[in-house]
Every structure is written in C-alpha cells, then in structure tokens.
C-alpha cells in the first residue's frame, strides 16, 4: 500500500488550474475534506437555496446540508453529518440526496438534489472569474468562490418552479481544522447580474484575515479594507443587525445595513463543543438604492455581544486566471 504524502508548500500556494475543478487525492489526514457549495436567489419567484457537500474520504463519510426556501417558508431542510461516502467519478461528487458534476471547468456545473417529493436540478454558468481565498499556507487547504447564473427546475410542495437565479458557488479541498477558526462573518449577496459581492473577515489561530470583492456595474474589484459593527446580537444566536463597510483602495464601495431575516441552518462542532455556525438569509441595503436578500454565515467560539466593531486590512485573495 502506498503511503499518503503531506502537501508540499507549493501545493498550498500555487495557482488554481482547471484541473482543480475535479476531485483531488487525499493526503491521509482525518481532517482532509473536499467541499462543494452553491447558494442561489431567484428574486422573481422568491426562491432561496443552499446546497452544501463536505466529503471526508479518510472517514468514509460526508456532511450534507440542503436549505430550500420559498420566501421564509422551508421547502426542504436536510442536515446530515454522517452520510456514507461512496466512490464516484473524476468529475462528479455525490453524497446522500446531493450531486455536483463539472461540465466545463470554471464555466458550467450541474447541481442535483433528489429527496422524496423534492427535486432540484440546476446548471450554473460562471459570470466572473473565480476568487481564490489564498489561505493555503494558513489553513493547509485551498478555497475559491465564483459568482454564477443559475437556471433549472425545482419541484416541491406540489409545485414546479422554473429557476432563474443568481448565486455563488465554492469549491475547497485540503486539511480543514474547525478548531483553528474562532470567528467568521461571511456573506454572499446578489443584487443583479452586474452587482454582487462577497465579504469575509475570519479569525484563524488568533489572527484576522480579509477575503472578498465587490462587482459593481460589471466591474470586479478586490476589497482592501473592511469594517463590521454588530449593532444587535445575543449570546447563542446569529447577529441581528450589522453595519458593513468596505473599501477598494481609498474608495468606500460598501456602506450597508444588514438585518437578519431568517435563520435557515445551524452547524456545531463536536470537537470543541463550543463553536457555533449559523446560516441565515439577511437583508442588505445601502443609500445608493441597492437592496437584496443575501446569504450570511456567522461562526464563533464565544458568546456574541452587541456593538462589537472589527476592521481588517489586506485582502489575502486574488482572481483565478484561466
């Protein structure tokens, strides 16, 4: 039997390539993961969805999270942390009721959910370049996200919807250590095809890192500085009201109010018994007339308090060049 080798330093910082869209060879560590994620919003039909797959080949299992909503009413919520993992093809990842399949790297993927009387089948197409978080040397893992257009069909609750949505997908692989991350505020918001954003401040091993970008009028720009102020929060739950600001260079490009609309999923980590991660749909709005419901996750290992203000400079990420 050939022994697995740990990743080399170059593997953790090299450029992302089209081959990375497919499955990777595990390094033989219990915390090694390969993740896929899609969050989408069909504003016309008021449909909201999250499909998440966390494959854990060294443990022979997967974590699956599905959250499909019509307005604030759940159509399907699935959270299973021990789905048996079955071998799949080079370009496809299947676990429980979910399937992610690469049709064309960085351009087209198919995502399927088949659970009882709920069926979702959508294809996403890339709208802009993928964004590489660039935290390989920090987390010993790679992670990139991409703004996408989502088209397909949803059957649920005795109804059929033609899905015409905007969304964000991600793909990650490597050694993921939940205990290393103590605090995260991360959001994905889609106002129009020409206007969307991703913002994250994460505290990893006691140090804060910024990841994120804004796309305005079809022009992508990396964020250089972010400031988050929680105005209303309580211990044991997600932030209720937040001020979000972001700068590209010296220009203020985000100045928003964020208010919780619906908590749609909760994850905890048994390794510590303390970490909490809430997935929510929240209202984002600013004085420029932009307003939309976006997906927000908040993750922390200590009680939240109101009026907590954090700033971070220095974006660790970069665009993926194809």
> Please, what is the average pLDDT of the chain?
90
Assign residue 301 a region (left: φ > 0; alpha: ψ between -120 and 50; beta: otherwise).
alpha
Considering 145, 176, 207, which residue would you say is the last residue of a domain? 176
The pLDDT value recorded for residue 249 is 95
Q: Does residue 241 share a domain with residue 147?
A: no
Instruction: Kindly report the CATH number assigned to the domain that includes residue 155.
Output: 2.40.370.10
- Inside any domain, residue 217: yes
Residue 243 in contact with residue 252, Cβ under 8 Å? Answer: no
Q: Does residue 202 share a domain with residue 113?
A: no
Least confident of 8-17, 31-40, 161-170, 174-183: 174-183
The pLDDT value recorded for residue 1 is 41
Q: Does residue 99 share a domain with residue 160?
A: yes
Residue 273 clears pLDDT 50, i.e. is over it:
no
Torsion angle, alpha carbons of 27, 203, 234, 284, to 10:
-90
Average of per-residue pLDDT across 264-289: 74
Structural domains in the chain (count): 2
- Inside any domain, residue 142: yes
pLDDT, tens digit, 9 for 90 and up, residues 189-243: 999 999 999 999 999 988 999 999 999 999 999 999 999 998 887 767 788 899 9
Q: Does residue 276 share a domain with residue 250?
A: yes
Considering 176, 203, 227, which residue would you say is the last residue of a domain? 176
Average of per-residue pLDDT across 171-184: 85
The pLDDT value recorded for residue 91 is 83
Task: Assign 131 a pLDDT band (cuts: 50, 70, 90).
Answer: very high
pLDDT, tens digit, 9 for 90 and up, residues 46-81: 999 999 999 998 889 999 999 999 998 999 999 888
In sign, the C-alpha dihedral spanning 57, 113, 166, 259 is negative
- Inside any domain, residue 238: yes
The pLDDT value recorded for residue 151 is 98
- Inside any domain, residue 210: yes
Considering 176, 196, 213, which residue would you say is the last residue of a domain? 176
Q: Does residue 182 share a domain with residue 171?
A: no
Task: Assign 272 a pLDDT band (cuts: 50, 70, 90).
Answer: very low
The pLDDT value recorded for residue 295 is 94
Q: Which two tokens stand for residue 32?
A: 């090694």
Task: Assign 31 a pLDDT band (cuts: 50, 70, 90).
Answer: confident
Q: Does residue 134 share a domain with residue 123?
A: yes
Residue 3 clears pLDDT 70, i.e. is over it:
no
The pLDDT value recorded for residue 293 is 94
Least confident of 33-47, 66-80, 258-272: 258-272
Instruction: Kindly report the CATH number assigned to the domain that includes residue 219.
Output: 2.40.370
Residue 270 clears pLDDT 50, i.e. is over it:
no
Q: Does residue 206 share a domain with residue 147?
A: no
| 3-state secondary structure labels for all residues of the chain | CCCCCCCCHHHHHCCCCHHHHCCCCCCCCCCEEEEEEEEEEECCCCEEEEEEEEEECCCCEEEEEEEEEECCEEEEEEEEEEEECCCCCCCEEEECCEEEEEEECCCEEEEEEEECCEEEEEEEEECCCCEECCCHHHHCEEEEEEEEEEEEEEEECCEEEEEEEEEEEEEEEEECCHHHEEEEEEEEEEEECCEEEEEEEEEECCEEEEEEEEEECCEEEECCEEEEEEEECCCCCCCCEEEEEEEECCEEEEEEEEEEEEEEEEEECCCCCCCEEEEEEEEEEECCCCEEEEEEEEEECCCCCCCEEEEEECECCEECCC
Domain coverage including residue 46: 29-176
Q: Does residue 126 share a domain with residue 253?
A: no
The pLDDT value recorded for residue 9 is 83
Residue 156 clears pLDDT 80, i.e. is over it:
yes
In 71-100, which positions are buried (b, 16+ CB within 10 angstroms) versus exposed (e)?
Answer: eeeebbebeeeebebeeeeeeebbbbbbbb
Burial label for 229, CB within 10 Å (0-12, 13-18, 19+), is middle
Q: Does residue 137 share a domain with residue 37?
A: yes
Residue 149 clears pLDDT 70, i.e. is over it:
yes
The pLDDT value recorded for residue 300 is 74
Block residue for tokens 């009028």: 217
Average of per-residue pLDDT across 152-157: 96
Q: Does residue 181 share a domain with residue 167?
A: no
Q: What are phi and psi of 123, to 5 degrees?
A: -120, 130
- Inside any domain, residue 14: no
Report the C-alpha gap between 264 and 124 in whole angstroms. Answer: 22
**pLDDT above 90 covers what percent of the chain?**
67
Q: What residues contact residue 219 under an 8 Å CB cut-off, 6+ apart?
A: none
- Inside any domain, residue 2: no
The pLDDT value recorded for residue 304 is 61
**pLDDT above 70 covers what percent of the chain?**
92
- Inside any domain, residue 155: yes
Q: Does residue 167 share a domain with residue 66?
A: yes
Q: Does residue 191 share a domain with residue 136?
A: no
- Inside any domain, residue 15: no
């Amino acid at each position: 039997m050939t022994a697995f080798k740990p990743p080399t330093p170059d593997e953790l910082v090299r450029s992302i390539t089209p081959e990375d869209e497919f499955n990777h060879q595990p390094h033989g560590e219990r915390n090694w993961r390969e993740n896929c994620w899609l969050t989408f919003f069909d504003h016309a039909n008021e449909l909201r969805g999250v499909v998440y797959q966390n494959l854990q080949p060294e443990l022979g299992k997967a974590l699956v999270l599905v959250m499909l909503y019509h307005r604030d009413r759940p159509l399907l919520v699935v959270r299973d942390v021990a789905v048996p993992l079955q071998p799949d093809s080079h370009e496809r990842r299947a676990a429980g009721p979910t399937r992610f399949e690469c049709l064309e790297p960085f351009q087209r993927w198919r995502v399927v959910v088949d659970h009882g009387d709920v069926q979702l089948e959508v294809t996403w197409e890339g709208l802009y370049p993928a964004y590489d978080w660039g935290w390989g040397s920090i987390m010993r893992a790679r992670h990139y996200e991409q703004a996408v257009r989502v088209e397909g069909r949803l059957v649920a609750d005795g109804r059929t919807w033609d899905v015409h949505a905007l969304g964000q997908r991600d793909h990650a692989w490597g050694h993921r250590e939940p205990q290393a991350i103590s605090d995260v505020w991360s959001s994905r918001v889609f106002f129009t095809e020409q206007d969307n954003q991703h913002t994250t401040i994460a505290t990893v091993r006691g140090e804060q890192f910024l990841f994120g970008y804004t796309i305005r009028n079809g022009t992508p720009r990396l964020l250089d500085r972010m400031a988050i102020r929680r105005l209303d929060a309580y211990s044991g739950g997600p932030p209720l009201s937040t001020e979000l600001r972001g700068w590209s260079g010296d220009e203020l490009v985000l100045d928003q109010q964020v208010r919780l609309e619906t908590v749609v999923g909760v994850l905890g980590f048994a390794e510590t018994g303390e970490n909490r991660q809430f997935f929510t749909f929240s209202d984002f709005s600013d004085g420029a007339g932009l307003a939309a419901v976006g997906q927000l996750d908040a993750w922390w290992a200590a009680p939240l308090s109101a009026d907590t203000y954090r700033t971070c400079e220095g974006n660790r990420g970069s665009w993926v060049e194809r």
